[in-house]
Structure 1
């Protein structure tokens, strides 16, 4: 688990100051807690600098834990945030390959996303205010490929009837479909041979037109693009920021807390 500890040789100091041992202990706990909170603030500030529009969820992913018995305090990922926050932050801190996201695992199990590849938003993906792909569109894609129910806790798989209905559309809504272009087959049967699609998931929207014979035209938009797994360089200096915050703040916070205790 990602964490940084604030520690000091306080037990030894308390042994030397038996007459004021209780004051040292109380002052130490207050200084440890205050310093750990300053570490947390420094980490959040660094995330704002290192990341592009980090979400509130990401900025709120750390918590402070005080361990009185060990004379230490930790700044660590919150319980419940581990599988998502640490997954993302671990790569940003340590570098290396990005771990699979939940929707990527679901698509891979369905055979849509090949092993060794990741999915990133395409040019026509619906993005939220933070530049992340819309959760609603991800759910729609999982539903289309019948990969939502067994792998994402959802019961919204479309099935063949649902897909046929979406393709048909209504008077007020155009029909559409999703299809995957596999890296192993750059040309798909759903498009003309002159269109060499990059591996990924595409959305085809149908347009009806009125004429002697009637008919339908369509447009194709890239929603998810498949890219080979790559190694990332560290971007978030979690440990360096934490160490500097401890060095800059602990001695001052301990002296202030001890003086308050001694004056009472």
Structure 2
């Protein structure tokens, strides 16, 4: 699984004369104000990234729109970070499905594809695409209930108790039909008529489409100087009022 990756924001004040004067004039507030400026900038950058996703991806799901998180700066650790989540209860972690869009390269297998691979159906360099008869949700993805039933029917569930025990009653099955490998669906009462539910294809090579680091660099260059000044102003005002 890919390691977490993100955009790191550090306290680079070279050329920011007003910020340098504030640090020299109020050194006791430097660490607090710097951590505050970095954290607020990171949170704004996270929102900025999220706002850009619908123009980069076709109908991004709520899961994709929530794929980023912020790691705040502290007085002892003066850098903040906006990074992709590397954990997921049921689905595919953001680090796995976003990496090829940020760096380019092949898409890694989703959780359902891992299970088909572990069951001996899918090759390491293959992914699945839905057949034309499969109804998709509003985001263009297969519904989870159908995926669960497919995995159960072909005995590819992680929990053996969830697998279909009688393969003759299974609606979905693995097969090579007319030169096409995949998961097929029996769709008449007699079970003689079949159509593709999941086709096995080689994982495509993606070009870099999410200019994650370029967007971050421009945004931070525009926002961080003002964030420093605001943070110092807040720190000085708080110290004077004793709050």
Match of 1:164 among 144, 153, 168: 168
Match of 2:78 among 68, 71, 82: 71
Per-residue displacement from partner, 1:38-63 (whole Å, max 9, x unpaired)?
11011112212111111111111211
**Local SS of the residue matching 1:128:** coil
Q: Are 1:104 and 2:108 counterparts?
A: no
Please, which moves more after superposition, 113-122 or 222-231? 113-122
Query: Aligned residue for 1:204?
Result: 186
Aligned-partner Cα distance in 2 for 1:122–1:156: 24
C-alpha RMSD of the superposition: 2.6
Instruction: Compute the displacement of 1:30 (Å).
Output: 1.8
Query: Aligned residue for 2:29?
Result: 23
Distance 1:15-1:224 versus aligned 2 partners, 3 A rule: same
Distance 1:50-1:9 versus aligned 2 partners, 3 A rule: closer
Query: Aligned residue for 1:39?
Result: 45
Q: Note if contact 1:14-1:21 (Cα within 8 Å) is conserved in structure 2.
A: no
- Unpaired runs of 5+ in structure 1? 167-176, 183-187, 189-195, 208-215
Instruction: Compute the displacement of 1:236 (Å).
Output: 1.0
Q: How does 1:112-123 map to 2 (within 5 A)?
A: 112-123=121-132
Q: Note if contact 1:92-1:235 (Cα within 8 Å) is conserved in structure 2.
A: yes
- Unpaired runs of 5+ in structure 2? 14-18
Distance 1:16-1:244 versus aligned 2 partners, 3 A rule: closer
Aligned-partner Cα distance in 2 for 1:106–1:66: 36
> Normalising to structure 2: TM-score of the pair?
0.83
Instruction: Compute the displacement of 1:203 (Å).
Output: 0.7
> Normalising to structure 1: TM-score of the pair?
0.77
**Local SS of the residue matching 1:201:** strand
Q: Note if contact 2:38-2:73 (Cα within 8 Å) is conserved in structure 1.
A: no
Distance 1:252-1:115 versus aligned 2 partners, 3 A rule: closer
Per-residue displacement from partner, 1:146-205 (whole Å, max 9, x unpaired)?
111xxx246211112xx3345xxxxxxxxxx323333xxxxx4xxxxxxx3533222122
Aligned-partner Cα distance in 2 for 1:217–1:155: 25
Aligned-partner Cα distance in 1 for 2:20–2:159: 53
Q: Note if contact 1:146-1:157 (Cα within 8 Å) is conserved in structure 2.
A: yes
For the pair shown, which has the larger CA radius of gyration, 1 or 2? Answer: 1
Aligned-partner Cα distance in 2 for 1:101–1:19: 54
